[in-house]
Amino acid sequence: MDRRRLRPPGLTIDEARSWATVGVFSALALALCYVETFIPIPVPIPGVKPGLANAVVLTSLVVLDCRSACCVAAIKVLAIGFLFGSPIMIAYSAVGTLFATLAMSVLVKIPHLHMVPVAVVGAMLHNVGQLMVANVMLQTTLVWMSAPIMLVVACATGAITGLLAQHLVSIARAEIG
Amino acid sequence: MKKHVKHLHRMNIIVAAVIVLTVIASFIIAGQPAFYAEPSSLTAIVHAGDGQTYRFPLDVDTTATVNSELGSNQFTVENGSIRATDADCNNHDCVRQGRISTPGQRIICLPHELWVEVVGEKKAAESSEGGIADGTGEEQSDAGTQASQDSHPDGGTPSSDVDTVGS
């Protein structure tokens, strides 16, 4: 059978391959987010979690491109929100993920920069975005009181997701080529 | 392991320094009380045991006694904080809890089922609406309280926020 006839109309093989990778990464993000719910958090602050799905967004920024990473991020926000969360959670997650993805998409362009600092900045901006939403929703600037703690926690979780992303990148490069 | 550390590029150190500085800056900025609310907009709300609420703006120094059928507590507002100065109960726990001056802080009196909270202006308006729901009207609030100096009971009307008290 001719390989061309299997191709969806309007897509080159490379495009189809990259969309398929987006799908795989999105599935991985969902799986990681589900796994995350089993990890106990020793910090008694609501909303603190490892954010492992962020590692997948970072991986797709490195392996694919900014547009694909935004797709993965959008699927991550909507699918995780509808599967495990609530509309309110989607609002928090959407702004946080938007900030994180934008910042990381800039930082991954910097040569010689390790994945960990990129992920840390992403995690920090994710928290800042969430605090902004909290500020608007709760109508109080008092939420910023937790910002320093959130940023410190983001350094730890960002380091974990950064290392995870590095492994994911090496795996993905080996598999996808 | 050592190889990795050796190969850390200058760029990583710069970004790491920016991250550390941001965290330190966030501690400094978030530590400023002025960042959160105007000190003058703070109000102490006394929720008495009979469901009445009384407000004391923390920028007006005053001493007032809040009475309900369960007993009376005396409060003093000075230097932007409120504290219980006297009570006709056995344990005087409210006096021992000291002064409160920032939003979210509370003084709780179990024998008189009374509690005091400090709120910013926005929340003060919300709580006052709640005061209508469980408040018992102006007549009772007059009977229930003899505010000693220039503080009047707030019957729970949302409009009589800061203006009524002290007039």
Residues of B in contact with A136 (CB under 8 A): none
Inter-chain CB proximity A117 and B15 less than 8 Å: yes
Q: Comparing C-alpha atoms, which of A111, A90, A97 is closest to residue A56? A: A97
Which among B10, B27, B120 has CB closest to A148?
A: B27
Bigger pLDDT: B44 vs B166: B44
> With pLDDT > 70 as the criterion, what percentage of chain B qualifies?
63
Bigger pLDDT: A4 vs A135: A135
Reported confidence tier of residue A38, pLDDT bands at 50, 70, 90: confident
Task: Give the closest-approach CA distance of A118 to chain B in angstroms.
Answer: 8
Task: Give the closest-approach CA distance of B165 to chain A in angstroms.
Answer: 25
Residues of B in contact with A121 (CB under 8 A): 15, 19
- Per-residue tokens: A169: 């990148």
What pLDDT was estimated at residue A89? 84
Inter-chain CB proximity B30 and A145 less than 8 Å: yes
Reported confidence tier of residue B156, pLDDT bands at 50, 70, 90: very low
Taking only the tens place, the pLDDT of each residue in A118-142 is: 999 999 999 899 888 988 888 777 7
The conformation of residue B89, written as its DSSP 8-state character, comes to S
Residues of B in contact with A125 (CB under 8 A): none
Q: What are the counts of helices (DSSP H) followed by strands (DSSP E) for chain A?
A: 7, 0
Q: Is the dihedral of CA A119, A125, A129, A131 positive or negative?
A: positive
d(CA B141, CA B159) in angstroms, rounded, equals: 17
Task: Give the closest-approach CA distance of B167 to chain A in angstroms.
Answer: 29
Q: Comparing C-alpha atoms, which of B142, B101, B97 is closest to residue B118? A: B101
Residues of B in contact with A139 (CB under 8 A): 122
What pLDDT was estimated at residue A149? 84
Reported confidence tier of residue A45, pLDDT bands at 50, 70, 90: low
Which among A113, A124, A155 has CB closest to B12?
A: A113
**Largest Cα–Cα distance of chain A, in whole Å?**
65
Inter-chain CB proximity B30 and A120 less than 8 Å: no
What pLDDT was estimated at residue A102? 92
Instruction: Give ipTM to 2 decimals.
Output: 0.71
Which among B11, B30, B123 has CB closest to A110?
A: B11
- With CA atoms as reference, the chain B residue closest to A109 would be B11
pLDDT of B61 over the 50 cut: yes
Reported confidence tier of residue B140, pLDDT bands at 50, 70, 90: very low
Inter-chain CB proximity B22 and A142 less than 8 Å: no
Reported confidence tier of residue B75, pLDDT bands at 50, 70, 90: very high
Residues of chain B with a CB closer than 8 angstroms to some CB in chain A: 8-12, 15-16, 19, 22-23, 26-27, 30-31, 35-37, 103-104, 120, 122-123
- With CA atoms as reference, the chain B residue closest to A142 would be B36
- SS3 category, B149: coil
